[in-house]
Amino acid sequence: MKSKAHIKANFKAALAVFFIFPLFVCLFPETASGRVIIRDIIVLNHQKVMLRAKTTGIFFAKGGQIVEFFVDGESVGKTLSGGDGVAFKSFTPLKIGLYQMRAASGEDKSSGLLFSLKKDTGIVFVDVEGSLLQMRFSTVPKKGSQKAVEEIYKKFPVVFLQTSFFGVTIVKAWLKKNNFPELPVVPWRQGAIFQEITQNGLRIHAVIGSSNVIESAKDHNGRSFSFSDLENSEVVKDWAEVVEKLK
């Protein structure tokens, strides 16, 4: 049987979701709309990948829609979304670095990033909710976190992780509003992202985040940093120390 303390903690968390989610939607109203969705992806240079977009109605997927894909402003072709609303188009990145992607269906459009990396490249993963917020359920970034991420990105590929109930679109809007560099944001999915990138020939150089994220990455031989005393991680007092340790 759950303890009273456990039930109370769950109740507080539920209240936070109830009150804060509408706050985020008010702060970032553009995230509440959009009938075509394209997500950021991490890929190997010179390896063919499938760009993926989803077309939706008000609440559910909407199939049979024409979707045109663009990479760095150039069209790479049109395709029809299936019954599940998902449309695919193949693309082969020929350079290392970030590509700007866009999917358009009628008047609806969505943008994303494709991060093309050389095999065996080490990535620094930043848990947005677990390392960039001043405190849990806050909308204020940690002091110096924007500059620190920029400094780290000068030396290593950086990818943001979405780990909580707030979707990728809301997380990206928060990052943009708070002047973080435009970098890929991918769902953590209880560590599945780490399995995927290592299977695709990439590495984890470091993970900065919460206990759950660090725990899910412990078998991948990367460094881990946390702002609280956690097992399997290096404790740091601020983002300046993270930058120093990654030099």
Q: For the domain that residue 98 is a member of, what is the CATH number?
A: 2.60.40.10
Q: Do 222 and 204 share a structural domain?
A: yes
Q: Do 232 and 188 share a structural domain?
A: yes
Q: Do 127 and 106 share a structural domain?
A: no
DSSP 86-124: EEEEEE---SSEEEEEEEEETTEEEEEEEEEE-TT-EEE
Please report whether residue 6 resides in a domain: no
Domain boundary among 51, 83, 117: 117
Q: What is the pLDDT of residue 154?
A: 97
Paired tokens of 44: 């190997």
Please report whether residue 15 resides in a domain: no
Contact 43, 116 (CB under 8 A): yes
Three-state secondary structure string covering 136-154: CCCCCECCCHHHHHHHHHC
Q: What is the pLDDT of residue 147?
A: 98
Please report whether residue 205 resides in a domain: yes
Paired tokens of 15: 């209240």
Q: Do 47 and 68 share a structural domain?
A: yes
Contact 100, 72 (CB under 8 A): yes
Please report whether residue 22 resides in a domain: no
Q: Do 56 and 102 share a structural domain?
A: yes
Q: Do 139 and 97 share a structural domain?
A: no
Please report whether residue 7 resides in a domain: no
* 3-state SS class at 206: strand
Q: Do 164 and 67 share a structural domain?
A: no
Domain boundary among 83, 117, 151: 117
Q: Do 183 and 109 share a structural domain?
A: no
> Which residues are CB-contacts of 141 (< 8 A; sequence separation ≥ 6)?
132, 133, 134, 178, 180
Q: Do 94 and 40 share a structural domain?
A: yes
Side-by-side strand order, sheet with 122-127: 185-187, 158-162, 122-127, 203-208, 223-226, 234-235
Q: Do 137 and 77 share a structural domain?
A: no
Please report whether residue 61 resides in a domain: yes
Q: What angle do CA 245, 198, 234 make, to 5 degrees?
A: 25
Q: Do 127 and 105 share a structural domain?
A: no
Number of domains in the chain: 2
Ordered per-residue pLDDT tens for the chain, 247 residues: 444 444 444 444 433 433 344 444 444 444 434 489 999 999 999 999 999 999 988 778 889 999 999 999 999 999 999 999 999 999 999 999 999 999 999 999 999 999 999 999 999 999 999 999 987 667 899 999 999 999 999 999 999 999 988 889 999 999 999 999 999 999 999 999 999 999 999 999 999 999 999 999 999 999 999 998 888 899 999 999 999 999 8
Domain encompassing residue 108: 36-117
Contact 26, 83 (CB under 8 A): no
Q: What is the pLDDT of residue 58?
A: 75
Please report whether residue 232 resides in a domain: yes
> Which residues are CB-contacts of 188 (< 8 A; sequence separation ≥ 6)?
127, 161, 162, 163, 213, 216
Domain boundary among 77, 100, 117: 117
| Residue bearing tokens 């970098």 | 183
72 conformational bin, left if phi > 0, alpha if psi -120 to 50, beta if neither: left
Q: Do 73 and 45 share a structural domain?
A: yes
Please report whether residue 24 resides in a domain: no
The CATH number given to whatever domain includes residue 203 is 3.40.50.1000
| C-alpha dist (Å) from residue 19 to 24, 166, 168 | 9, 13, 19
Distance CA 174, CA 151 (A): 20
Residues forming beta bridges with residue 161, ordered by sequence position: 127, 186
